[in-house]
Amino acid sequence: MKVLTVDDDQTVRIRLRRYLQEWGHEAVEANSGEKAWELCKQGRYPMAIVDWMMPGVDGVELIKRIRAETGQGYVYLIMLTMRSEMKDLVEGMDAGADDFITKPFDKDELYARFRSGERILGLENRLEANINELRRSNEDLQQFAYAASHDLKEPLRSISGFAQILSDKFRQNLGKEAIECIDYINSGALRMGAVIDDLLKYSRVSAAKQKVAHVESQACLDNALKNLAAAIEENGATVTHPTLPSISIDETHLTQLFQNLIGNSIKYRNDEPPEIHISAELDSGERIRFNVRDNGIGIPEQFQKDVFQIFRRLHTQEEYEGTGIGLSICKKIVELYGGQIWVESLSGKGCNFLFTLPA
């Protein structure tokens, strides 16, 4: 491993070089913070041993610069210092140092700290490899879902097309039973088409994340309500809300969230007309928590986690139509932005769907 050693004192650099060579590593030396920073910009050093007190760019400043540069992998930083007062240690740690050695340092102590750094770098490497692997397999899966659902549409089109021809052209030659069968084929194909469309929507969610911008969540809600206008009118639903804040998100995502949740609130209604209230408040940290509350049939406690799984429905097609993808899309969107979604509900007393997004 290449270890950057930074000290204006040549004797220290020589000692460090000797020890590192003895342990099978290579020291790349810099006699000032400026020189070290130049080297960092040119090459990659997984570990650096840095003197605190140097004229010009000192150890703390150098460490701050290295930490601010996030492009390359993790650099394990050990500080060499004469100081040992608590206040100084805190300042160095705060700047991003991983460990300290007080001068004059002892070879065995340096070795122990060096080894501990090596272990942490090993873990870091494994973590990075796992993340890359996960990212790759996620992309594969994404592509698979997209291609599969896309390719299913073609044969489905011919099934429903020919069923249509059968029922249009040859209806008079067919018996009652045959016509009934064709109707089943047609409604099956229609349903399958809806499932495929929803699956495509689901698999497209992360592909669209690039268009993140500052958007008025109010405008997204307005769009969702426009898309739901017919259902709102048909069910005599009332939707109330205060003015909603602006957040950073892809606006089609927030519109989709509102539309799926409010669409559900209307669909899973009680005998009374649906009353839906939307609100938003600042959550702890830099997050906004949205609430979509309704007065519908509610969700029994034991199913409140399940409903976010893909294809999970609590009712039959005859009771309520749907593919069971709406809430899983909501979950996927919210998690894409590092947020959470959950539901609070008392059976028969309506639902309160909550989700958090970056402010």
Ligand X SMILES: Nc1ncnc2c1ncn2[C@@H]1O[C@H](COP(=O)(O)OP(=O)(O)OP(=O)(O)O)[C@@H](O)[C@H]1O
One residue of 16, 80, 215, 327 binding ligand X per CB under 6 A: 327
User: Which of positions 309-338 make contact with Mg ion (CB under 5 A)?
Assistant: 326
- Phi, psi dihedral angles at 249 (to 5 degrees): -165, 165
Nearest distance, CB of residue 194 and ligand X, angstroms: 8
Please list the helix, strand and coil fractions of the chain in percent, rounded to the nearest 5, in that order.
55, 20, 30
d(C-alpha 323, C-alpha 312), whole Å: 9
Stretch that binds Mg ion, among 164-172, 174-182, 206-214, 260-268 (CB under 5 A): 260-268
- Phi, psi dihedral angles at 194 (to 5 degrees): -65, -40
265 binds, among Mg ion, ligand X, none (CB under 5 to 8 A by kind): ligand X
Stretch that binds Mg ion, among 83-91, 225-233, 259-267, 293-301 (CB under 5 A): 259-267
Extract the tokens encoding 57: 């760019």
111 close to 23: Cβ distance less than 8 angstroms: yes
Extract the tokens encoding 67: 């930490």
d(C-alpha 275, C-alpha 280), whole Å: 17
231 close to 263: Cβ distance less than 8 angstroms: yes
One residue of 265, 287, 337, 357 binding ligand X per CB under 6 A: 265
Task: Considering the complex, state which of residue 255 and residue 264 has its C-beta at the smaller distance from Mg ion.
Answer: 264
One residue of 160, 255, 264, 295 binding Mg ion per CB under 5 A: 264
One residue of 351, 355, 356, 357 binding ligand X per CB under 6 A: 351
Extract the tokens encoding 225: 């309500």
296: contact with Mg ion by CB under 5 A: no
d(C-alpha 140, C-alpha 122), whole Å: 27
274: contact with Mg ion by CB under 5 A: no
Cis amide leading into 46 (omega within 30) = no
One residue of 18, 41, 171, 315 binding ligand X per CB under 6 A: 315
d(C-alpha 200, C-alpha 337), whole Å: 20
Per-residue string for binding with ligand X, 154-193, x by CB under 6 A? ----------------------------------------
d(C-alpha 301, C-alpha 282), whole Å: 26
299 binds, among ligand X, Mg ion, none (CB under 5 to 8 A by kind): ligand X
d(C-alpha 224, C-alpha 251), whole Å: 11
How long, in residues, is the chain?
359
3: contact with ligand X by CB under 6 A: no
d(C-alpha 190, C-alpha 161), whole Å: 11
Task: Point out the residue whose Cβ comes nearest to Mg ion.
Answer: 326
255: contact with ligand X by CB under 6 A: no
Task: Considering the complex, state which of residue 63 and residue 327 has its C-beta at the smaller distance from ligand X.
Answer: 327
Stretch that binds ligand X, among 9-17, 26-34, 90-98, 258-266 (CB under 6 A): 258-266
33: contact with ligand X by CB under 6 A: no
d(C-alpha 102, C-alpha 196), whole Å: 65
One residue of 5, 32, 323, 356 binding ligand X per CB under 6 A: 323
State the maximum Cα–Cα separation within the chain, in Å, rounded to a whole number. 103
40 binds, among ligand X, Mg ion, none (CB under 5 to 8 A by kind): none
Q: Which residues bind Mg ion (CB under 5 A)?
A: 264, 326
* Interaction site with ligand X (CB under 6 A): 198, 260, 264-265, 268, 294, 296-299, 307, 312-315, 322-328, 351
